[in-house]
Amino acid sequence: MKKVVALLLVFAAILVPVFANGQGETVTLTLSEVHAEGYPTTLADQEFARLVNERTEGRVQINVYYGGTLYGEETGSIEALQIGDLDFARVSASPVASYVPALNVIQLPYLYRDGDHMWQVLNGPIGQDMLDEIQASGSGLVGLCYYDAGARNFYTTTPVQGVEDMKGLKIRLQNNPMMVEMVQLLGGNGVTGIGPNEVYSAISQGTIDGAENNWPTYESMGDYEAAPYFILDGHTRVPEILLASENVINKVSAEDWEIIKQCAKETQDYEIEQWALREESSREIVTAAGVTVYEPTAEEIQEFQDLMAPLYDEYGAGYEDLIQEIINTGL
Ligand code: BDP
């Protein structure tokens, strides 16, 4: 009799978790984020983890490592996703283009009229096709959703009020050859291989003369203290992407994979709201700290745009119709 009870207990111990989640034990997954606590994308990652935990009734637990503690450089996190060493990473679309070249199209300089235009494109069939392309490309990556990252602008240790002031400046860029070429077209030198958390010290040490980013990163990484000249040239709008490793599909049930994809989509609007708030507060913080913000005239912006135009021929080759469709969206 005792043996039977013992046997039943063993069975129960095995079967209860199996029935509880359809797969076995709770699956613990890891998400890497370069930004600090409280940054809009970090908040969205955490909301994603919370929703997944709630909807899978605890079957899937996602641990968010923010502040670049796992990977300070996004190329490193993308490669870890590809080999299944990491499950999720919230990254900028910029470095992903090295693995999925079509993504360069949605980050060409001066492509969007404004943020609303970009969201119309990303929330429509073009945006979904691009996310699908990430997995279809055989990169081992899955694009789950986009987040807002506003517009990127140059900031430097010396005043820049137009293209002529960019000549000879060493500017840190994301790991994307198109961005390096963009700065070369302006007469500057693009520098890559510096993580966003290292920009402040690279500027302070004089390794670079500046970088380019949005208001929140400029503020949150403290870069404004080292490079206090900010020109609102708005050369690119590069969306953020929440990526999964394709390997996650093997770690969770089919039902939970669908839940994960759905939850990611649902966090997009939340991030956009958080983004708008942070863009405003970051702008206030850096201007109060004495940053010199230069607002170029339409003619001055046109000069940036004209010099960068060759990127459309090179990186837009084969995508001419798509580019036209993007430009026409919302008109
Ligand atoms: C920020 C993005 C972050 C990038 C960073 C960069 O949010 O994902 O890593 O730019 O310039 O705006 O590397």
Residue 20 has pLDDT above 60, yes or no: no
CA of 168 to the centre of ligand 1 (A): 23
> Of all helices (H) and strands (E), which one includes residue 62?
strand 60-65
Query: CA 261 → CA 2, 59, 190, distances in Å?
Result: 47, 15, 36
What does the pLDDT average to over 302-328?
A: 98
Residue 304 has pLDDT above 70, yes or no: yes
Q: How confident is the model at residue 24 (pLDDT cuts 50, 70, 90)?
A: low
Residue 329 has pLDDT above 90, yes or no: yes
Whether 162 and 80 share a structural domain: no
Whether 99 and 248 share a structural domain: yes
Residue of 39, 94, 194 with the most ligand 1 atoms within 8 Å of its CB, for mutation: 94
Whether 93 and 199 share a structural domain: no
Whether 68 and 139 share a structural domain: yes
Residue of 34, 182, 219 with the most ligand 1 atoms within 8 Å of its CB, for mutation: 34
Q: Which residue has a Cα nearest atom 6 of ligand 1?
A: 196
CA of 313 to the centre of ligand 1 (A): 25
Residue 6: its pLDDT value, please?
53
Tokens of 38: 């409280």
CA of 33 to the centre of ligand 1 (A): 10
Q: How confident is the model at residue 21 (pLDDT cuts 50, 70, 90)?
A: very low
How far is it, in rounded angstroms, from Cα 101 to Cα 113?
23
Whether 215 and 249 share a structural domain: no
Tokens of 10: 């063993």
Total number of domains in the chain:
2
Looking at residue 272, which CATH number applies to its domain?
3.40.190.170
- Residue 21: inside a domain, yes or no? yes
Residue of 42, 74, 180, 243 with the most ligand 1 atoms within 8 Å of its CB, for mutation: 74
More confident residue, 3 or 116: 116
For 135-194, give the DSSP string: HHTTSSEEEEEEE----EEEEESS---SGGGGTT-EEE--S-HHHHHHHHHTT-EEE-S-
Whether 23 and 91 share a structural domain: yes
Q: Each residue of 225-281: pLDDT tens digit?
A: 999 999 999 999 999 999 999 999 999 999 999 999 999 999 999 999 999 999 999
Arithmetic mean of pLDDT over the chain: 94
Residue 7: its pLDDT value, please?
52
Residue 49 has pLDDT above 50, yes or no: yes
CA of 26 to the centre of ligand 1 (A): 32
Residue 172: its pLDDT value, please?
98
Identify any residues that bridge with 32 across adjacent strands, giving them in sequence order. Answer: 65, 89
Whether 161 and 127 share a structural domain: no
Whether 40 and 80 share a structural domain: yes
Whether 158 and 204 share a structural domain: yes
What does the pLDDT average to over 117-121?
A: 98
Q: How confident is the model at residue 13 (pLDDT cuts 50, 70, 90)?
A: very low
Residue 87 has pLDDT above 60, yes or no: yes
Q: Each residue of 142-183: pLDDT tens digit?
A: 999 999 999 999 999 999 999 999 999 999 999 999 999 999
Lowest mean pLDDT across 9-13, 127-131, 279-283: 9-13
**CB under 8 Å to 127, separation ≥6 — which residues?**
106, 121, 146
**CB under 8 Å to 101, separation ≥6 — which residues?**
315
Residue 25: its pLDDT value, please?
86
- Residue 3: inside a domain, yes or no? no
Q: Each residue of 185-217: pLDDT tens digit?
A: 999 999 999 999 999 999 999 999 999 999 999
- Residue 164: inside a domain, yes or no? yes
- Residue 298: inside a domain, yes or no? yes
Domain ranges, residue 263: 14-149+238-281
- Residue 267: inside a domain, yes or no? yes
Residue 127: its pLDDT value, please?
98
Whether 320 and 296 share a structural domain: yes
- Residue 145: inside a domain, yes or no? yes
Q: How confident is the model at residue 4 (pLDDT cuts 50, 70, 90)?
A: low
Residue 17: its pLDDT value, please?
41
Whether 212 and 76 share a structural domain: no
Whether 20 and 127 share a structural domain: yes
- Residue 4: inside a domain, yes or no? no
Q: Each residue of 50-67: pLDDT tens digit?
A: 999 999 999 999 999 999
Instruction: Of 109, 150, 121, 94, give the one whose Cα is nearest residue 314.
Output: 109
- Residue 273: inside a domain, yes or no? yes
Residue 18 has pLDDT above 50, yes or no: no
Instruction: Of 101, 97, 148, 106, give the one whose Cα is nearest residue 325.
Output: 106
